[in-house]
Amino acid sequence: MICLLVGISTISMASEISDEKLTRAEAIELISEVKHDLNLKNDCKLEFVIDDEGNVKPSPIKIIKIYDKDNELLLEAPIHTVEQMSNKELRRLVNSSDFLTESYNTFYYRLDL
């Protein structure tokens, strides 16, 4: 089931591929929007998430890490739901980045600004 979700997410992320390059200001704004939309915090390293009703969500389906050209981490986005994979700003960031590698459901990208 998880493999199916990862496959679907990869296809959905790649479905709107464009060669659009982002400016530094656009990238920073998109990263900020993704962090807000996905409720990400820089200091949070939990392996599970508890929602508002107290339900424990499973570990991430996948994790997206985007680095700049100096190998500085710009965004680490653990994806727990299909809705999060459909985030418009995250898809734009991923489509504007170069795919580097994938390891253990963690996808690494570089965004040249």
Best CA proximity match to 38, nearest among 89, 3, 110, 101: 89
pLDDT band at 38; cut points 50, 70, 90? confident
Whole-number pLDDT of residue 109: 97
Strand partners, 106: 63, 103
Is the confidence at residue 17, as pLDDT, over 50?
no
Average pLDDT, the chain: 78
pLDDT band at 44; cut points 50, 70, 90? very low
Is the confidence at residue 15, as pLDDT, over 70?
no
> Can you tell me the distance from the alpha carbon of 31 to that of 13, in angstroms, rounded to the nearest whole number?
16
Whole-number pLDDT of residue 100: 96
Q: Tell me what the mean pLDDT of segment 86-96 comes to.
A: 92
Across 10-35, b (16+ Cβ under 10 Å) vs e yields eeebeeeeeeeebeeeebeebbebbb
Whole-number pLDDT of residue 8: 53
> Can you tell me the distance from the alpha carbon of 16 to that of 88, in angstroms, rounded to the nearest whole number?
10
